[in-house]
């Protein structure tokens, strides 16, 4: 059972990670993309083409909401639809070349913001401490 200090650390870490994620999202050059849209294109990039239902389940939203998200991304040329390979009633969505470029720009902007923040705000010793903390945080993730 966690003690009070471990509970405080868990709370502080969670709040800090949430704040960091907000700053990373704000650093994105794609202000027109919603967090859900960014999550969908990242998921398709890592997992490959997917159906509306699969994406809705993965993002914990209703299929109707996901259809709206996918429609906006398709309209902007970020996603393209194609027939499902085995089920003619469904379609799958995949990234277009434009979509891959948008995703690369979003990722590059986030990484650049964080690298500049680390360089400008942390001493060399603090940067080594952050590297150690990053390894520890990675160990918290399920394998």
Mean pLDDT along residues 104-120: 93
Q: What is the pLDDT of residue 31?
A: 62
Q: How confident is the model at residue 37 (pLDDT cuts 50, 70, 90)?
A: very high
Contact 47, 67 (CB under 8 A): no
Give the residue extent of every domain in the chain. Answer: 24-140
Residue 32 has pLDDT above 80, yes or no: no
Contact 126, 49 (CB under 8 A): no
Contact 70, 79 (CB under 8 A): yes
Query: Which 3 state secondary structure label does DSSP give 92?
Result: strand
Range 24-140 has CATH code 3.40.30.10: no
63-92 pLDDT tens trace: 999 999 999 999 999 999 999 989 888 999
Residue 28 has pLDDT above 80, yes or no: no
Residue 16 has pLDDT above 90, yes or no: yes
Q: What is the pLDDT of residue 124?
A: 97
Mean pLDDT along residues 133-138: 96
């Amino acid at each position: 059972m966690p003690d009070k200090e471990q509970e405080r650390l868990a709370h502080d870490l969670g709040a800090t990670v949430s704040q960091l994620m907000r700053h990373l999202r704000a650093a994105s050059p794609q202000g027109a993309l919603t967090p859900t849209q960014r999550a969908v294109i990242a998921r398709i990039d890592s997992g490959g083409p997917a159906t509306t239902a699969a994406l809705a389940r993965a993002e914990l939203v209703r299929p109707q909401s996901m259809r709206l998200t996918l429609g906006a991304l398709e309209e902007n040329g970020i996603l393209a639809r194609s027939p499902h390979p085995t089920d003619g009633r469904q379609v799958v969505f995949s990234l277009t070349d434009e979509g891959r470029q948008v995703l690369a720009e979003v990722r590059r902007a986030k990484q650049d913001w964080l690298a500049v923040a680390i360089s400008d705000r942390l001493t060399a010793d603090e940067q080594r401490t952050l590297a150690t903390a990053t390894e520890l945080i990675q160990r918290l993730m399920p394998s």
